[in-house]
Structure 1
Amino acid sequence: MRLILASASPRRLDLLQRIGITPDAVAPSDIDETPAKAERPADYACRMAREKAAAVAGAHPGALILAADTVVAAGRRILPKAETEAEARKCLELLSGRRHRVYSAITLIDAEGQARHRLSTTIVAFKRLGDEELEAYLASGEWHGKAGGYAIQGRAEALVRMISGSHSGVVGLPLYETRVLLHAAGYDLG
């Protein structure tokens, strides 16, 4: 049974490999990732995972298609994947000293075309960031392209006061939920 990872994220590929899974191919989707007006963060994450999987499934009939999306949310606000230092600063200042949620949605389309979905919700609390800590993190460049302007698997992990939920979900692919879906679809987990 072929497994196609519908993601360009090296973090998702690395997470799969940590549990002994190497996809047969990586086929990133090319979809519009603009949130709908007033779309809630969890709904947005689920919709993105569904649409990414569907966009790739047509090119790989009979294969398992695994897609995911991770959203960092402050209340009902979806934080961007920081592309500039100013965006990262704004995200980190917002998250400093408070709790936020990270929604990591996955969709698996099986060989018959049936889609299965899971959503992991993790609560993360950052310490109150001092100016020096914030500047040092921004100078690291680790925030670039990361939802909410941080990478929990890097230096930002030392800034996290509390996490309740899935660490791998915050990185970008909740491994427990992924294994459950793959097992249900009959994928050999070794």
Structure 2
Amino acid sequence: MTTLLQIKTSVFSDHGHSTQLANEFVAQWQKHHPDGRVVVRDLGSEPLPHLSAERVQAFFTPPEQRTPAQQAHADASQELIDELKAADVVVIGLPLYNFGVPSTLKAYFDHLARNGITFRYTANGPEGLIADRKVYVFAARGGFYKDTPADSQTPFVKAFLNFIGLKSLEFVYAEGLNVSEDAKRTALQAASQQIEQLAA
């Protein structure tokens, strides 16, 4: 059975434009994969805890030396990693908040980044340990930032996903959503057309 993991990051959950675009893709994907399974992780409604010294120490402590509390932290991280590994396709809804990714997505990434588990350092540089699979990122922005120095979001997401082994990335942008109704309508229509092509 093919599994799609959908990661929602908007603080508005299903009311956010990034989530709506991602939902549109998932609906199209399900038409082409009627036996497929969709797993949803909504970081907006169920945010993960941000990193703390206690959590980092739990990750660094050898399993046989962990306290029960440290093991619980490590297990929570491992659950997210296993969920990602089990997915054949990953879909991320990505709003732009103050020139960056939602802090909830950063927290999610921080729980995925585990030396020796999702990546490792070698004499030839870092190596991602997550097997590559298709990742679709639906980026919604109030203004126009794509391919400008103000878009720190795209390089960061690419760099992190590549770092853990995910290199087959497809970005779909809907920009200018807060500029005018015409700009919003045009952007969402263009994104929908791209979604139809990608999901076919």
The reply to whether TM is greater than 0.5 is no
Q: TM-score, normalised by structure 1?
A: 0.34
Higher fraction of strand: 1
Q: TM-score, normalised by structure 2?
A: 0.32
Structure with higher Rg: it is: 2
